Amino acid sequence: MIEKQDNMDVETRLSGGAIVITPLVNEITHNNNRGFLNAVKDSLIDHSGDAVIDMSNIQIIDSVSLGSLVAALKYVRSRGGEMFIAGAAPAILQLFDMLNFRSIFKIYDNVENIP
C-alpha cells in the first residue's frame, strides 16, 4: 500500500516580485497531491504576492492533482496574488488544452517568459 504524503520537497526563489515554487519530484499524483498543496501554502506564508508553479520537473499529473492546482490558484488569489504555471511538459500542456485550463491559468513556456 502506498501512503499518501502530506509534504513535498520544493525549491523556492523570488523572481520579479513573484515567488517561484519548483516541486522536486517528477510527478504529482493522488499519492502526493496533498503534499503539493501544503508546499504551495507553506511557501506563501511570508509572501502575499504572485506565485509561479515551475513544472519543469513534472512529467506526470493525474486528475486529482489538477484539482490541487485549482485549489492552489484559489489560495493564491485569496491572498491578493495571481498564479502562473511555467515549464510544463508537452504532454501536460496538451492535457491543459483539452481541459481548457488556459482560460483559468496563465501558462508560460518558462519562468523567464513571465512578464
- Global pTM value: 0.91
DSSP, collapsed to helix, strand or coil, labels residue 28 as strand
At 92 the pLDDT is: 96
If we measure between CA atoms, which residue out of 45, 46, 100, 104 comes closest to residue 71?
A: 104
CATH among 3.30.750.24, 3.40.1260.20, 3.40.50.720, 3.30.565.10 for 10-113? 3.30.750.24
Percent of the chain with pLDDT over 70: 95
Helix pair 63-78, 33-43: axis angle to 10 deg: 20
Q: Which three cell numbers stand for residue 111?
A: 519562468
Convert the pLDDT of each residue in 33-84 to its tens digit: 999 999 999 999 888 899 999 999 999 999 999 999 999 999 999 999 999 9
Query: Whose CA is closest to 68, among 13, 5, 2?
Result: 5
